[in-house]
Amino acid sequence: MPAGSPDGGQWTSGGRAPSLLDPLTSFLEQLPTLLLAGGFNKEDMGRSVQDYVADNCKGSIYQVLPGQFLDMTLADVLKLATSGDAAARRCKKLLSSGRFKK
C-alpha cells in the first residue's frame, strides 16, 4: 500500500492498490457535470427556482430576483443564461450568491 494511506507500507495480496490519483480522477470525472450545473447540485436541476429559493435562500432575494424565472427549473434558467439571456444570468448569479444563502 502507498505510504500515507491508513495501511501504508504494507504488502497487499493482489488487486490494485489505491492510487494517490484516485480522488483527483473522481473529481475530474464529475467536473463536466459541476460546470454545466453552474455550481448547483445535480439533484436541484429539475426543481423550480421558487422551490430552490424556499429551501436555500433568504427571503430578501425576492427584492432583486427576476420574477419571470420563479416557475422555471434551474436547468432551464442555466440553459438561458448560457445562451446569453441577461436576466437569466442575473438570476443564476443571485441564486449562487453567498449573500442570499440561508
What tens digit of pLDDT does each residue of 80-90 get?
Answer: 998 999 999 99
pLDDT in tens, 51-73: 999 999 999 999 999 999 999 99
Check: CB of residue 94 under 8 Å from CB of residue 39: no
Question: What are φ and ψ of residue 71, in 5° steps?
Answer: -90, -5
- How many whole angstroms separate alpha carbon 59 and alpha carbon 26? 36
Q: Domain coordinates of the chain in residue numbers?
A: 41-100
Within 10 Å of residue 58's Cβ, how many Cβ atoms?
Answer: 11
